[in-house]
Structures are given as structure tokens and as C-alpha cells.
Chain A
């Protein structure tokens, strides 16, 4: 019991506490076990002692000294009485020894324990330590019954024993002085003192935080009957953070296979029947022309031979916008961005701009001497691609409209698409080339891609990834290639199995629709970037020549060589997700007869 009290070191931090206990109890405890590292650790206990002294005894120090003898006597008695033979013995021995030393000190002057100054015995530095140790002991005796649970004391006692042994084995070297001084004492006593001394020194360095560990270890080891020499080590680096909070319930319930887009539950239903069919008599069956466009004002323009018709999706009404002179035909139509004007390319190479609301021609722009098969607007710029392979940029605001001549294609240009931000222009031609132009330097194409093996008419810029361009090749090629327009790299390809006549990205879904010529005459909707064909719709009886998306992006219009114009609700938004022009159009259409001749 007494031992236990010794250890108690109240003030020290918890960590110290344990080590100290060891020290106090078995005074010796620590250092030997710990080896070098241990030494430092043990030191700490010392400090605490002082502190404890101060705290408790400050006022009575002198008294303390006087009482020491009595205390010791008590202590020793107690020890003897204590039933635990082992523990008691071990503990007691050192005490006695100490008593002797203590008494000396007390005589000299207990008060200054800190400095513990001059050793009366001429013991040199040792005395100081001794003294400290002394103090500790006395102190302990006082405290005696102390805070420690008896059980811990016991366990400590066991460990203490071991330690003592160890001390014997490798002891003196540490503190030669101490040992010499105490020569008179028994071995145990010496060991004890050494331990104490060591303790004293250590206060300086705390390198080892774990004194508590020692105590725990011992207790635990005792409890489990495990070898006392083990130590518990922890892998110190903190484990990586979990990437997201986890609900275990979810984890246990989670489906064996993650639900993906292909699972029935999530698959989008795509209407495979046309929403509406219109006749388009006289539609020229020519792959290289672009005769269909849907404006931002929800009007569809279609070029039928020498005429351009405008069908209002809102009202279902049809107007004939113009009729060309008999010596030529309409080779391309394109709405301006605001939907107010339509550009019309003619077989003669003339380009006309019409104000649709007024129904009047605003201007004609000459320059091409071959038919203009494709056009594209970028704000006030109208780009026109001609059979000669030339692409002109026209600034429609100025008299000298031709502002750039893009030379790259050697054969008819049939595909042309501005990126939505107007920074890049993609063109495709009958020479199987795809050219990507930087709007700021049009002298040469930024990239010229030769992967297609047939004419490139279908071009589409991805609405959610500005750098992504899709291009589709003709009947000998049948591929859709996807390009990074910044690096020029081909990022994906699809073999569609038939001529690709047009490509349109869905603005709402990660999908792209392609229209096919021979042999399928179908519409195919592909997921991107998985490139899975979600659906293939047998759309027309002959090849699909042109397609365009409604301004709300839900509806696709296709014109085919079978002289029909069909509307497909392939990118329908989920119900309640907003009402677009298309739906309004659809409502309007619903009132109208199913079949409607544009003419």
C-alpha cells in the first residue's frame, strides 16, 4: 500500500503519473526498462514531485522535515504489516535505506528541496538527487493511502520487481556517483536510488510521451497474463480521410450492381413515332445541300427546289418566302441567330438575305461562282461554303461583305458549323476533310483532319463541352468521330453502319442523334461518352437528308428524300421540367390536321 501512495504524484500530468508511479513505487522503475529512451521519460516524474510538494506542503516544509522520522517509521510499519509479501518487501527495502539518507538531509535542512544543495555527505551532485528522491519518499509516505487503487499498486509491484532485477543487471553504469554514494545501502536500495536519480535528471527531456502507456501496459498485461515486455505501438500517421460521409445502412442495402443508365428504371423512354409528318414535295435529293433549318423564333425554313417555305411551329401556318428565278434552285437555307433573317444560298453562287417578318429580300451577296451548299451564322458573320471548296465569311452589315476567304477544301464544302461562342468554325467537305478554324486566324485551318474516308456533311459542336466536335462521314465512311478541338485529338469514334447525313447534340441529355442515309434511313440516338446506341428509329423510307433541332432542344425535324418532313420528340424533357417553345408548338400542332402540306 505504501508503495502505491508513493507513486501517486498528483500534480504531474497523467502521463507522468504512471511512470512516476512506477518510479515511486519501485522507485527504480523506469530507466532500466526503457533503455536510453526510457531514461528521459522517467525524468519527468521528478518534477511532479516537486510540484506536489509545493502544492501540499509548501507551508509546512520545515515541519515536514521534523516529522520525517515519524513518517518513515509509520511507513515502514505499514509495510511490514502489509499482507502482500512481495510488494511489501521490495518497497520497504528501499525505504529504509532512504530513511537513512533522508534523516541526514532533514537535519541539514529539508526546506530547500529543489536545490537540495550541498550534500552533507560530500556526495557531490548526487545529494541533490538523493534529496529529491527522499522528498518523494517522505512525501509518499504521507500520502500513503492515496489515490491509487490497491489493484494498480499490486500490478505495479509486480512490474517493479522485474525492474529491480533489471536494474541489477545493468545498473550502475548509469549513475556511478549515485551508486558509490550509496554503497552502504543494499543492492535493492541502490537500485532504487538509481532509479530515482535517473528520474530526477529526466525532467528536462520528455521525449517519450507515453509513461501512461507503461502503466496501462502493465495493468493490461497483468490482467491478461501476457508477457510484460510487450509494448503497444500505434501507427502514428493519421489514416486518410474518407472521401464522403457514409451511411452504413445505405451500404448494406446497396444493390449488388450500381444502377446505371441502362437499367430499366432509369432508361429514358424515347418516342419512336413521329410527332408530325409534313409533305415536302420537290425536295431535292442531294446529300451536299442543306435545305432545312429551325429558327430561334420557332419557325422552320425548308428549301424545296426553287422555293423557300417557312412553317411556323407556333401557328402551324405555312408561308412561301421566295421563289428563285427559273435558272437556279435553292441549295441552302440558314436562319440568323435572332431568327429574324434567313440566308438563302442559290445554285448560282448567290447568297440572299431575307427578312422573314416582312417577306422582303434585304440584300444579295455575290462572290461564289459555284453553288452554295452550306451556310452558318455567327452574329453578323455569314459563312458560306461553295462547291468550289471555298468558304467565304461575309459581314452582312457592310457593303464590302466578304471579309475572309477560308481556303482548305479542294472539293465541295457541304458541312459548316460555328461553335456557339464564335471562336471556332468547323467545315467538312467532299474531299473527306474536316477543318477546324480559329476565328482569329483564318489563313489556315487550325486542324485538318483526314480520318474520314468520305464526304463530311454532318458536323456538331457539343453544347456542354465547347472543345468537343462531332463529325460524321458519308456512305463509304459511316463513322462518327469526336474531336477535341483544342488539342486536335480524336477522342472517340462510332461506326454507325450507314451514311451519316447529320448530327445533333441534345442540349438536355448527354446524347447525340445521327441521321442516316443508305442503308438504314434511320435516326440513332447515342449516349456520350459511352457511345451506346440508345435507340434506332427507322425514320424514313429513303435517306434522311437534313435534320434540325427545335429551339427548346426537344424536337428534331428531319427531311428525307421521300419528300416528307417529320418531327420527332426524341429529347423530350421529363414532365414538369419546364415548358419550352416546342411544347407550345406541339400544343398548337395538336389542333391542326395531322398531315399538312407545306405548299
Chain B
């Protein structure tokens, strides 16, 4: 017993940190969605109120419908994050009139400390041989350099830097014309459970888009990279 207890304890601690990290990332996503909706004018500025977060004034929609919509997304996202099922979150801004995707914000999530080592490794073996030739070295390379022991404050400041970049990005992003709407895509593990509100989709890539890599941040268990692609104005 005595020997067992500490072990389970350790396990728990580990789990919790992963969970906490997942939560942190999910929260980051939530604020990202709000920020992008505000910065890109998907909803009118009056609908947003400032909230202190990450040492910044984050603008969060105060429209009940929008909040409820994002909340629904987040509730599922949280589950997926904790389960380590997500590799990307994408916010696509679409022109309402033409249906053209005009802007695409992509957040790549890497899980550094593999949570479900079993399932992960399994899938690895299945795919690895087939995959290897196609996979770029960079992706595997990244996974091997987990950043450890970051303080909460460091992570927060990394996140704040991302939001500053998102805010600043309005300076180079083309001005969106007309009414726009948005969609949230998730690149989920094929084995993950999919609630009814979610359905398969294409990647909604920007045709002939320009891409700009923004900053990323990492926690003990996750690394998140940000990429925005947008349609070039002719």
C-alpha cells in the first residue's frame, strides 16, 4: 500500500497538469475566437466588452447568442483537449455573399507529454510506416523537444504576445469587404467521439492565400502555433 500510494499520486499529479494545460489551451482558444471576431469585425464593436486577461484588455462578445454559440463550441473543445484528440483548431472567416473563405486562423496543437500513451503509440505504429515517407521531418522533430518547467507567468506572457500579434495583424491583413461570418473547424483524431453538432468538413483553405506564421506558446504538455492565411486582394 505504502509503496503504491505515492505512485498513484504521481500519476494523478501528472494527469492534473495535463488537464490544466488542456484547459489553459482551450481557454486560449476561446479568447482567440472572441478576439478574432472583434478584430476582424465579424460582429460590431459595440457588442464587445473588455475583460482583463493575460494582462491585457481582452474584448469578449457580450451578445448572448454569440456567447452561447462559442460556449457550445468550447464545451466540446474542452473534452477533446483533455482527451488529447485535437491537432488543430481553425477559425475560418467567410464572405456571406460569395461564400468565399477570406481568412483562416489556424492554431496547431501539439501534445508534448502524450497523455494516452497507449492509444497514441498504437496509432503511431499503424501509421508510421505508411506515414514516414510523407511526413515532414519537422513535425516529428518538434515533438521531441518538449519545453519543460515553464512558469505560469511565462506562459501567460507568451499568450499575451500572441494576442498582441493578432491585434496587430489588422495592419497587414486586407480589409474584409462586406458581411462576413465564421466557422470553427477542428482537426480531431479519427477515433474521437463526435457529437451531433459536429460534422466532417473540408479544410476550407484559402485559395491562393498568403500565409503568415504568428507566435506560439507552450505549456508543459502542449505547444500551440498560430498561423493566419488570408486572401490576397488583387
* Chain A interface residues (CB < 8 Å from chain B): 33, 155, 158-159, 161-162, 165-166, 208-210, 212-213, 216-217, 220-222, 224-240, 242-249, 251-252, 254, 258
Contacts and interface: CB of A to CB of B under 8 A. Distances in A.
Q: Counting chain B CB atoms within 10 Å of each CB, which of A236, A237, A242, A254 scores highest?
A: A242
Question: Ordered nearest first, which 6 A-B pairs have the shortest CB separation?
Answer: A234-B201, A210-B200, A225-B135, A240-B65, A225-B136, A229-B190
Interface string B199-221: 11111110000000000000000
15 contacts: A155-B134, A158-B130, A165-B126, A212-B202, A225-B138, A226-B87, A226-B135, A230-B188, A231-B200, A232-B185, A232-B187, A233-B199, A234-B201, A236-B197, A243-B43
B17 interface: no
B69 A162 contact: no
Nearest to B187: A230
A236 B199 contact: yes
A385 to B, nearest CB: 48
Given A155-B134, A229-B191, A246-B42, 5 more contacts: A216-B203, A234-B184, A240-B63, A245-B179, A254-B45
Contacts of A210: 199-201
Contact of A235 (B73, B139, B181, B189): B73
Nearest to B202: A216
Contacts of B131: 225, 227-228
B127 interface: yes
A286 to B, nearest CB: 52
B8 interface: no
B190 A33 contact: yes
Given A226-B139, A243-B43, A246-B43, A208 B200 contact: yes
A347 B200 CA distance: 88
Interface centre among B40, B87, B131, B194 (most CB of A within 10 A): B131
A209 B202 CA distance: 11
B41 A239 contact: no
B47 interface: yes
B205 to A, nearest CB: 8
B113 interface: no
A232 B205 CA distance: 12
Contacts of B136: 224-225
A234 B134 contact: no
Q: Determine chain A's interface SS by DSSP, over half rule.
A: mixed
B188 A231 contact: yes
Nearest to B45: A251
B127 A233 contact: no
A236 B198 contact: yes
Contact of A234 (B45, B69, B123, B198): B198
B12 interface: no
A156 to B, nearest CB: 12
B13 interface: no
B130 A230 contact: no
Contacts of B76: 235
Interface of B: 40-47, 63, 65-66, 69, 72-73, 76, 87-88, 123, 126-127, 130-131, 133-136, 138-139, 170, 175-176, 179, 181-191, 194, 197-205
Contacts of B139: 224-226
A235 B75 CA distance: 12
A231 B187 contact: yes
A228 B127 contact: yes
A228 B138 CA distance: 16
B98 to A, nearest CB: 16
A326 to B, nearest CB: 68
Contacts of B44: 242-244, 246, 251
Contacts of A237: 69, 72, 197
Contact of B198 (A217, A229, A235, A240): A235
Nearest to A254: B45
Nearest to A211: B200
A227 B202 contact: no
Contact of B47 (A217, A231, A243, A252): A243
Contacts of A158: 130, 133-134
Contacts of B185: 232-235
Contact of A229 (B46, B65, B189, B201): B189
B127 A229 contact: yes
A208 B199 CA distance: 9
A595 B188 CA distance: 87
A162 B181 CA distance: 37
A254 B204 CA distance: 32
Contacts of A246: 41-45, 179
A33 B200 CA distance: 14
Contacts of A252: 170
B182 to A, nearest CB: 6
A106 B121 CA distance: 47
Contacts of A232: 185-188, 200-203
A598 to B, nearest CB: 54
A236 B195 CA distance: 10
B181 to A, nearest CB: 6
B198 A233 contact: yes
B87 A227 contact: yes
Contacts of B202: 212-213, 216, 232
Contacts of A166: 126
Nearest to A238: B181
Contacts of B138: 225
Contacts of B188: 230-233
A251 B43 CA distance: 10
A152 to B, nearest CB: 13
A442 B46 CA distance: 48
A226 B123 CA distance: 12
A230 B190 contact: yes
Nearest to B178: A245
B183 A233 contact: no
Contacts of B66: 239-240
B43 A235 contact: no
Nearest to B135: A225
Given A230-B87, A230-B189, A162 B127 contact: yes
Of B187, B199, B200, the most chain A CB neighbours within 10 A belong to B200
A233 B139 CA distance: 22
A230 B183 CA distance: 18
Given A232-B187, A234-B185, A240-B69, A227 B127 contact: yes
B203 A220 contact: yes
B199 A234 contact: yes
B199 A162 contact: no
A212 B200 CA distance: 9
A165 B205 CA distance: 30
Nearest to A247: B41
Contact of A231 (B135, B181, B190): B190
Given A210-B199, A242-B44, A225 B134 contact: yes
Contacts of A228: 127, 130-131
Given A158-B134, A234-B184, A234-B201, A251 B41 contact: yes
B130 A161 contact: yes
Contacts of B194: 233
B63 A243 contact: yes
B42 A229 contact: no
A246 B96 CA distance: 13
Contacts of B130: 158-159, 161-162, 165, 228
A423 B176 CA distance: 54
Nearest to A222: B134
A408 B106 CA distance: 73
A242 B66 CA distance: 9
Contact of B201 (A213, A227, A244, A251): A213
